[in-house]
Amino acid sequence: MASSAQPPAAAGDGGPDGGSLAGGGETFGDRSLSQGLSVLVGLGLCVTMLGLGCAVELGQLGQQLRRPVGLLLALLGQFVAMPLLAFLLALIFALDEVAAVAVLLCGCCPGGNLSNLMSVLVDGDMNLSIIMTASSTLLALFLMPLCLWIYSRYWINTAVVRLLPLGAVSLTLGSTLLPIGLGVLIRYRHPRAADLLVKISLWSLLVTLVILFILTGTMLGPDLLAQIPASVYAIAVLMPLAGYALGYGLATVFKMPPHCRRTVSLETGCQNVQLCTAILKLTFSPELIGSMYMFPLLYALFQSAEAGLFVLVYKMYGRDSYKQDTLGEEEDTDISYKKLKEEEVADTSYGTVTTEEHNSIQMEPTQTAL
């Protein structure tokens, strides 16, 4: 009797007014737009993963296998630092089980394509950025369910965690392999088409997030949005910011150059919120998750805003130092080239080589002044 009565009670624990959130979940599930929203989430995720695959070159993968720095950074950043950060924030802000699962799910997600776009804007290492995103996505097949299982143990006695569909999470992750593999094949066979698909996927990422935010806000209603606890909004602000800082510190420990530190910073803080949204929408019932479906969208909003500030600060203060470093490298190259030319001139002082005919070469001695 006690166990059969527990799930309805848990469904209403989504915030200070548990019953209101449960009602919002039922309304959210009964709306005709809900099915269309599921289709939009699935299509958006497929396009994003296709664009990710189109950005990966087989030659780069071979280099990373020989020197897997990007793979190691993706592992430490996305499946050690970020899940632990999400868990600690959930404990510090004393989140209920529904909000905690949403935060943990977002923290355990792999890197997103937004980091690739932002890495371009801060003169980062694009090869490293793409490899980290692709590596974390592949590692997520095994490590994301494992991290969810480990960190949800604190809320194990709640209905939401007992019903945590790790199998469905793995199935959703596995479904992303097909568009990624197709994208890699397109890159190998048709590089120009792959470049176009990468641009399309980046624009679709931005458009899909805007549409999801508007539709979800409309379906949930302003009253339920206002009932999302302030602690959840605070985590949505602090989590990507702390992720950027952790990533930069991680790259500093590995003694990476500044442009690689910026890249690792963005890769660590930017999560694949489309994947998180798809898992919440496709694997949890609306009555169970309620308004916490909005958390990855809030995270996407603040991670984009904070990354934009990162880019703005770099454009204002860091661009000059990057140009000076690049100029210094070019000057070193010029000096080396001049020395090489001087050595060549010194060597040819013993004689001059002339060609009189097509197949004949004659050495003419030159007089050296004593």
- Measured CA to CA in angstroms, residue 95 lies from 47, 68, 91, 233 at distances of 33, 37, 7, 12
pLDDT reported for residue 135:
85
Nearest to 304 by CA among 244, 225, 360: 244
What's the gap between Cα 177 and its chain centre? 16
Query: How high is the pLDDT of residue 18?
Result: 37
Beta bridge partners, 354, equal 362
CATH code, 42-316: 1.20.1530.20
Cα–Cα separations (whole angstroms), residue 130 to 115, 156, 342: 9, 36, 42
Phi, psi (5° rounding) for residue 353? Answer: -95, 125
Residue 34 confidence (pLDDT): 61
74-106 residue pLDDT tens: 999 999 999 999 999 999 999 988 889 899 999
Per-residue pLDDT at 38: 67
CB atoms within 10 A of CB 69: 16
* pTM of the complete model beyond 0.75: no
**pLDDT value at residue 243:** 95
Contact 205, 113 (CB under 8 A): yes
Find where tokens 């606890």 sit. Answer: 229
Q: Which residues are paired to 117 by β-bridges?
A: none
pLDDT of amino acid 280: 82
Crossing angle for the helix pair 166-175 and 273-283, to the nearest 10 degrees: 130
Residues of the chain with pLDDT under 50: 1-30, 327-341, 343-358, 360-361, 366, 368-370
Quick one: pLDDT at residue 237? 94
**pLDDT score of 47:** 81
The pLDDT assigned to 163 comes to 64
List the one residue out of 79, 80, 78, 102 whose CA is nearest residue 90: 102
Q: Which residues of 347-356 are buried (b: 16+ CB within 10 A; e: fewer)?
A: eeeeeeeeee
DSSP strands (E only) in the chain:
351-355, 361-365
48: nearest Cα among 129, 111, 105, 112: 112
pLDDT on residue 125:
87
